[in-house]
């Protein structure tokens, strides 16, 4: 289940990048599809389609991110934190403190 959701998440990320790059540029010359579309659809309808597609793919991407986070939090052995090894090292061993000569 986790592998399938991870693959869907990966495809959504790639699709989101492609859809964003295909959008018409507003003058920054960042979009790939900034020119005419060859008469396939009008500029206004293609912009609306790309905007809706971007929103839908972004919403699916966020949802898959949340599902992956929930699944990762519910796995067996997830009680550990990445901070635990650091805390255990500092509590078990004392760092060597340099000896400073004290003037009498």
Pair of tokens at residue 78: 């997830």
Domain ranges of the chain: 1-24+34-72
Nearest Cα to 60, choosing from 7, 13, 2? 13
Q: What is the mean pLDDT of residues 1-27?
A: 88
Tell me which H or E stretch contains 58: helix 43-73
Q: What is the mean pLDDT of residues 82-94?
A: 60
Please determine, for residue 1, whether its predicted confidence score (pLDDT) is greater than 90: no
Pick the more confident residue, 16 or 79: 16
Which pLDDT tens digit goes with each residue over 42-55? 556 667 888 899 99
Q: Please tell me the pTM assigned to this model.
A: 0.57
Please determine, for residue 70, whether its predicted confidence score (pLDDT) is greater than 80: yes
């Amino acid at each position: 289940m986790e592998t399938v959701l991870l693959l869907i998440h990966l495809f959504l990320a790639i699709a989101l990048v492609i859809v964003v790059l295909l959008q018409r540029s507003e003058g920054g010359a960042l979009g790939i599809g900034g020119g005419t579309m060859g008469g396939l659809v009008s500029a206004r309808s293609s912009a609306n389609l790309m905007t809706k597609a971007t929103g839908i793919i972004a919403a699916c991407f966020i949802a898959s991110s949340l599902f992956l986070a929930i699944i990762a939090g519910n796995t067996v052995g997830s009680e550990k934190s990445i901070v635990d090894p650091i805390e255990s090292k500092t509590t078990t061993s004392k760092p060597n403190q340099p000896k400073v000569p004290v003037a009498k």
